[in-house]
Amino acid sequence: MASRSNRELVALTAVELRRLIGSRDISPVELLDACIERIEKVNPFVNAVTATCFERAKFEAKAAEQAVLRGESLGLLHGLPLGVKDLEPTQGLLSTMGTPSMRNNVPSADIELVARLRRAGAVVVGKTNVPEMGAGANSRNPVWGATGNPFNPNLNAGGSSGGSAAALALDMLPVCTGSDTGGSLRIPAAICGVVGLRPSPGVIPSVRKSLGWSSISVVGPMGRTVADACLQMAASAGMHPGDPLSYPLDANSFLNPLPVDLSRLRVAWTEDFGQCDVDPAIRRSFRSKVASMRHLFAACDEVSFDLGPDLHRCFDVLRAEAFVAGMRATYEKDPSSLGPNPRSNYEMGARMSLLDTAWAQTEQTRILQRFQSVFKDYDLVLSPTTPVSPFAWTQPHASVIDGRQQDNYYRWLALTYLVTLTTHPAIALPCGLDEAQMPFGLQVTGPFRADHALLGAAHAMEQAFASHADLCRPRPDDARLVKAVPALESIVTAAPDDRFTHVPNDGATASVV
């Protein structure tokens, strides 16, 4: 193999890196060292990676190298450096959820998602930043500060998987985890120029959620490409009793995207689902991109939706119900320990009645049934992922869209949480730049429980987009990385007592970069 610089090495896809490890063309130790060098160089500009465990990772990468040399059977992610979203408990590594009350929390065991990725051979390198307790789509919190956008650190990286998206976009790590309730995988992926898949509920077990039978919260893969997302999907899918919605399936069936002939697909598109506020500039960018890709499909038609008048209220109730279930003990012990977003969600839910939750469950069922009408004639639905271009991270959320005041801090997520309510799988696919020269993410929604078909179509679209200047995946430019003003960590009000060095339970050193 021709000699590669560390910069060239970390820019390779996860799929290619895994192939090179398996063929002994690169070593897991070599790859980890390159990733650490990259993190130390660019993370100070965006604050995507928080607590790290470099020394433990080096020990594990060396063990992974020896396994290759001994000719052992290798897992799907063998030797690949992994970033774990800071909502997922990770053994021996500071796991704060971005909230001050957990600033010294070092779990003694991995949650199931992390455990599966480790068993597949991934080497955990560190945690990636989130909004406090995952509440919101701007990854800033009072423990670690804010995450800046890889294309402009003064703008936000989305959330709640913002740290993962930024780390992937800037080639710090080849594999990162995410999760999604109202768009937390899709939104950061969209505005950082990477792929984020919200799978159907139960495909990847989500054992962290308190309401096991709820369909609105899932965990899922992020990657620089659709194939990278498929690789992580294959390593994490499958039944687990911690998630009662999970079911037996062949996880390896996700490993390679199904071949799809785009010219046989009938595609519907909508700017707003008839329900969502969308900025005029995003509408123009979306229409332009649809015009550039419509020749790829058998049909590409604008369609209208009638999902009922109460969609937003339905999501309000179901989201609040989940926050009440997950935060009751913390709130009752000390309400002031919760930040404004999680606290407002909890208090909204605490005021609701059984009548409200029964109505919301019933209405979600009706929304799902109404949504099926479009798939009688079409294979996919295309829409924007976000209604606005990335805004300053100092602005907590998009409060006004197209001149209309938003009801609350998450109403601007309507394009994605609408799809959440349908339970359909959806993927954010990089699709060039918007009018502000920031990444534009195309939301592609597939039929009910058709994750394989969606991934196959998304992979084919990605391949077709690659040769089109207006549609191909944008890449951030290191030369444009500047220190954010104000500093990304400036909102930190209560940093961990040992912010720069933490000694986890297993004795490994976890540093903060």
23: annotated active-site residue: no
399: annotated active-site residue: no
Alpha-carbon gap, residue 29 to 26, rounded angstroms:
8
Tell me the one-letter amino acid at 153.
Answer: P
Alpha-carbon gap, residue 483 to 480, rounded angstroms:
10
What is the DSSP pairing of strand 439-445 with strand 426-433?
antiparallel
* 171-198 burial: b if 16+ Cβ within 10 Å, else e: bbbbbbbbbbbbbbbbbbbbbbbbbbbb
CA angle 202/205/206 to nearest 5° reads 105
Q: What is the DSSP letter of 186?
A: H
Contact partners, residue 1, CB within 8 Å, separation at least 6: 20, 25, 26
Residue written as tokens 């560190």?
126
- Strands annotated E in 142-289: 145-146, 148-149, 152-156, 175-180, 195-198, 218-223, 266-269
Neighbours of 61 (CB within 10 A): 24
Alpha-carbon gap, residue 415 to 417, rounded angstroms:
6
85: annotated active-site residue: yes
Of 85, 127, 209, 289, which one is the catalytic site residue? Answer: 85
Phi first, then psi, for residue 71 (nearest 5°) are: 75, 25
Tell me the one-letter amino acid at 257.
Answer: P
Which string of DSSP letters, residue by residue, matches 211-248?
Answer: -TT-SS-EEEEEESSHHHHHHHHHHH-S--TTSTT---
Which string of DSSP letters, residue by residue, matches 358-402?
Answer: HHHHHHHHHHHHHHGGGGGT-SEEEEES-SS---BTTS-S--EET
Alpha-carbon gap, residue 372 to 368, rounded angstroms:
7
Phi first, then psi, for residue 162 (nearest 5°) are: -65, -40
Of 184, 200, 236, 383, which one is the catalytic site residue? Answer: 184
- Cβ-contact 81, 35 below 8 angstroms: yes
- Cβ-contact 65, 27 below 8 angstroms: yes
Q: What is the DSSP letter of 261?
A: -
Radius of gyration of the chain (CA): 21
Residues linked to residue 400 through DSSP beta bridges, in sequence order: 405
Of 95, 139, 160, 179, which one is the catalytic site residue? Answer: 160
Indicate which residues carry an active-site annotation.
Answer: 85, 160, 184
